[in-house]
């Protein structure tokens, strides 16, 4: 029997049809497969299509056929991603402030191609991106890629850094001066993406919001600060920093009501020791970078938590409380 037309596209189109039109709940028959190929101007005899369905496994596409009545129904099994996994990725993309709305929708659209058109509709119903607070820096993908490249090549990076002014305009910080930083890692904290790097001039570790970095480029200079990061656990470092704000690292003793045990574990992990003091309270020692953001976190939990040591941190909290009181005093 002579070969059909457009044979060089047959396997590709067959894979496309099977992946788009079938899943664990949706099947396709051989006549429907033949009709699908015909829509792409691909003709073939049934025997060759049977062989091609088996050959798809070489491409990582497993197809099963099940007898239903006097016909076989075919569908793709064992996809690279299960639907619940893709929904999880969609939710992560949606909730990421550092990914723009445009990029979020583009990424989700690409994820939809990994499932059938039926499951793609289920992913679409998960999408509620419009109206969310998102970064407006479209270059963030390329910024992150440049940071990873600099880390792998052991190079410093140069970039400009901006902030928003009261006119809602992007305003370069330090009059547009270039920051020259040794990148050592990226951290996702409080819905934002941060570069963690070493500032050689200040001789200290600093953090920078990735979505506020502009015109990034690699330097010819090798990175500094290796001794500071050699023993640094990035996850542990992020846990100690509230909102990625720096501060003196100290062990702080907290007196906490039992009802907040979950809050403490969620923030500092299950390895912290909760030491009972009475039937209603426990103490816990936590390593943190003491900053106004940390004090604000303690303050937000109200009367159920109290800093009890060291004295200098207790004094810092008292000063912060007095500052707030003075800020909200009524004029006499």
Question: The domain spanning residue 222 has which CATH number?
Answer: 2.30.30
In a domain, 134, yes or no: no
CA–CA dist 14, 50 (Å, integer): 11
The answer, as to whether pTM is greater than 0.75, is no
Judge if 89 and 105 occupy the same domain: yes
Reference 76, options 43, 117, 39, 110; nearest CA is 117
Are residues 154 and 227 located together in one domain of the fold? yes
Residue 132 within any structural domain of the chain: no
**257 and 311 both lie in a single domain:** yes
Model pLDDT for residues 270-282, shown as the tens digit of each residue? 888 999 999 999 9
pLDDT of residue 232: 65
Q: Are residues 146 and 220 in the same domain?
A: yes
Q: Give the residue from 232, 264, 284 where a domain finishes.
A: 232
Q: What is the pLDDT of residue 84?
A: 87
Q: What is the pLDDT of residue 7?
A: 76
Residue at 332 is within a domain: no
**Does 144 share its domain with 220?**
yes
Tell me: do 91 and 73 sit in the same domain. Answer: no
Q: What is the Cα–Cα distance from 157 to 207, expressed in whole angstroms?
A: 14
Q: Is residue 43's pLDDT more than 90?
A: no
Of the chain, the percentage scoring pLDDT greater than 90 comes to 38
Q: How far apart are CA 332 and CA 329, in angstroms?
A: 9
pLDDT at 312: 94
Q: Identify whether residues 216 and 268 lie together within a single domain.
A: no
pLDDT at 183: 93
- The region that residue 210 occupies, defined by phi over 0 for left and psi between -120 and 50 for alpha, beta otherwise, is alpha
- Whether residue 150 is found in the same domain as residue 217: yes
Q: Are residues 149 and 168 in the same domain?
A: yes
The model's pLDDT over 115-162, given as tens digits with 9 standing for 90+, comes to 999 888 888 654 454 455 566 666 777 888 899 999 999 999 999 999
> Do residues 209 and 268 both lie within one domain?
no
pLDDT of 329 higher than 90: no
Q: Average pLDDT in the 53-69 region?
A: 87
Kindly state whether residue 279 falls inside one of the protein's structural domains: yes
CB contact at 8 A, 97 and 192? yes
Residue 317: pLDDT band (50, 70, 90) is very high
pLDDT for the residue 170: 84
* CB neighbourhood size of 120 (10 A): 19
* Residues above pLDDT 70, as percent of the chain: 87
Is the predicted pLDDT of residue 307 greater than 90, yes or no? yes
Same domain, 145 and 117: no
96 located within any domain: yes
Residue 268's pLDDT is 85
Sign of CA dihedral 100, 104, 107, 109: negative
Question: Region 163-180: what's the mean pLDDT?
Answer: 87
**227 and 164, same domain (yes or no):** yes
The answer to whether position 129 is within a domain reads no
Residue range 265-274: mean pLDDT, rounded? 86
Domain boundaries, position 214:
140-232
- Residue 320 clears pLDDT 80, i.e. is over it: yes
Please enumerate, as own/partner, the contacts of 224-229 that have beta carbons within 8 Å and a separation of 24 or more: 224/156, 224/182, 224/198, 224/200, 225/182, 225/184, 225/197, 225/198, 225/200, 228/198, 229/184, 229/185, 229/198, 229/205
Does residue 130 form part of some domain? no
**Could you say which of 232, 257, 274 is where a domain stops?**
232
Average pLDDT over the chain reads: 84
CATH label of the domain that carries residue 305: 3.30.70
The mean pLDDT of 187-215, rounded to a whole number, is: 85
Query: Would you state the pLDDT for residue 246?
Result: 62
How many domains is the chain partitioned into structurally?
4
pLDDT category of residue 9 using cuts at 50, 70 and 90:
confident
For residue 145, the model assigns a pLDDT of 87
- What average pLDDT does range 225-243 have in this prediction? 67
Q: Is residue 131 part of a domain?
A: no
185-189, 209-213, 229-233, 241-245, range with greatest mean pLDDT: 209-213
pLDDT at 243: 54
What is the structure's pLDDT at 1?
43
pLDDT of residue 248 exceeding 50: yes
């Amino acid at each position: 029997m002579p070969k059909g037309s457009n044979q060089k596209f047959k396997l590709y189109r067959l894979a496309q049809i099977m992946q788009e039109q079938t899943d664990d709940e949706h099947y396709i028959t051989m006549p429907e497969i033949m009709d699908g190929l015909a829509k792409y101007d691909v003709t073939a005899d049934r025997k060759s299509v049977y062989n091609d369905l088996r050959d798809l496994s070489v491409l990582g596409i497993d197809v099963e056929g099940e007898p239903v009545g006097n016909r076989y129904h075919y569908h793709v099994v064992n996809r690279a991603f299960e639907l619940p996994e893709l929904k999880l990725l969609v939710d992560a993309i949606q909730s990421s402030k550092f990914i723009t709305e445009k990029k979020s929708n583009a990424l989700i659209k690409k994820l939809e191609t990994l499932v059938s058109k039926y499951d793609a509709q289920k992913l679409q119903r998960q999408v509620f991106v419009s109206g969310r607070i998102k970064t407006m820096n479209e270059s963030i993908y390329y910024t992150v890629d440049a940071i990873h490249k600099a880390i792998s090549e052991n190079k410093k990076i140069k970039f400009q850094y901006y902030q928003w002014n009261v006119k809602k305009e992007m305003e370069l910080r330090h009059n547009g001066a270039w920051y020259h930083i040794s990148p050592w890692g990226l951290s996702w904290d409080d819905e934002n993406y941060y570069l963690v790097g070493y500032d050689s001039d200040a001789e200290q570790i600093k953090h920078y919001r990735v979505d506020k970095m502009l015109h990034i480029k690699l330097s010819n200079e090798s990175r500094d600060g290796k001794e500071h990061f050699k023993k640094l656990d990035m996850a542990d470092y992020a846990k100690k920093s509230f909102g990625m704000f720096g501060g003196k690292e100290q062990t702080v003793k907290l007196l906490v009501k039992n009802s907040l045990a979950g809050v403490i574990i969620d923030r500092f992990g299950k390895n912290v020791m909760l030491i009972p003091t009475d039937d209603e309270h426990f103490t816990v020692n936590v390593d943190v970078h003491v900053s106004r953001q940390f004090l604000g976190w303690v303050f937000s939990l109200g009367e159920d938590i109290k800093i009890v040591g060291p004295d200098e941190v207790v004094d810092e909290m008292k000063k912060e409380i007095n500052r707030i009181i003075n800020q909200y005093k009524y004029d006499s």
